[in-house]
């Protein structure tokens, strides 16, 4: 499968790219507004992965080309750019493609991080508002620590809550999540439930900031 990570040069994009490239045989496409930056990052990721003994299939392109080549498009840009990024690549998306939203809008003050959802309700729903009607949006990966993902020496043990309105698309993303060693996918229901999932992220960051030994805290439901 071809997976594009728009904003694949950032923290969560880097972690997902490295894990999928190491743990699976999927083709990983790094997207960026700057195609040269995407290509440089793809080369950097390949170097990191080769040190682990992997044979990575990673390429870098501008966002529109990355989205055109992919079947699953992860919108791993900062949340304030998520909708505009999807609008920019919408012409190359079509039936059979899936958009994945891992972003969470937050603010920070002296007390820590706070959930700051957009007017649409969640980042995933804001993406859904501008996505082509035949392209389902699935929400996932918000509650993973980016540092834990990108550190390939770190053994993951976390759950990924997946929400969406298209059952087949949701099952595809659940399978992709479980392709990463140490992750378990859980069905969180329809896209309207995404706010509950997104709102966990600032809590986890605050716990990591305020408690020793919890830098890479995630969630696991037993």
What's the pLDDT score for residue 11?
Answer: 85
- 53: tokens are 């003994």
Closest CA to 203 of 120, 145, 121, 119: 145
In a domain, 176, yes or no: yes
In a domain, 215, yes or no: no
In a domain, 174, yes or no: yes
What's the pLDDT score for residue 218?
Answer: 86
Structural domain count, the chain: 1
pLDDT tens sequence for the chain (222 residues): 999 999 988 889 999 999 999 999 999 999 999 999 999 999 999 999 999 999 889 999 999 999 999 999 999 999 999 999 999 999 999 999 999 999 999 999 999 999 999 999 999 999 999 999 999 999 999 999 988 999 999 999 999 999 999 999 999 999 999 999 999 999 999 999 999 999 999 999 999 999 988 878 888 998
What's the pLDDT score for residue 5?
Answer: 98
In a domain, 219, yes or no: no
In a domain, 218, yes or no: no
Closest CA to 198 of 93, 118, 135, 137: 118
* Domain of 23, in residue numbers: 2-210
What's the pLDDT score for residue 213?
Answer: 83
In a domain, 221, yes or no: no
In a domain, 152, yes or no: yes
Q: CA-CA distance, 18 to 186, in Å (whole number)? A: 22
CATH of the domain at 79: 3.40.50.720
């Amino acid at each position: 499968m071809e997976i594009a990570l728009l904003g694949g040069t950032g923290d969560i994009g880097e972690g997902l790219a490295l894990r999928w490239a190491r743990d699976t045989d999927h083709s990983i496409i790094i997207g960026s507004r700057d195609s040269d930056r995407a290509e440089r990052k793809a080369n950097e990721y390949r170097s990191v992965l080769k040190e682990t003994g992997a044979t990575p299939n990673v390429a870098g392109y501008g966002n529109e080309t990355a989205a055109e080549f992919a079947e699953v498009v992860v919108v791993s840009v900062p949340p304030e750019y998520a909708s505009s990024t999807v609008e920019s690549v919408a012409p190359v998306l079509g039936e059979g493609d899936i958009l994945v939203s891992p972003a969470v809008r937050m603010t920070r003050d002296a007390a820590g991080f706070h959930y700051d959802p957009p007017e649409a309700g969640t980042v995933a729903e804001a993406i859904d508002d501008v996505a082509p009607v035949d392209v389902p949006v699935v929400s996932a990966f918000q509650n993973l620590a980016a540092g834990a993902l990108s550190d390939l020496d770190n053994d993951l043990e976390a759950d990924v809550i997946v929400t969406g309105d298209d059952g087949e698309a949701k099952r595809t993303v659940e399978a992709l999540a479980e392709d990463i060693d140490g992750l378990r996918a859980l069905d969180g229901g329809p896209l309207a439930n995404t706010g509950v999932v997104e709102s966990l992220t600032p809590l986890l960051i605050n716990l990591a900031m305020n408690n020793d030994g919890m830098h890479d805290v995630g969630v696991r439901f037993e």
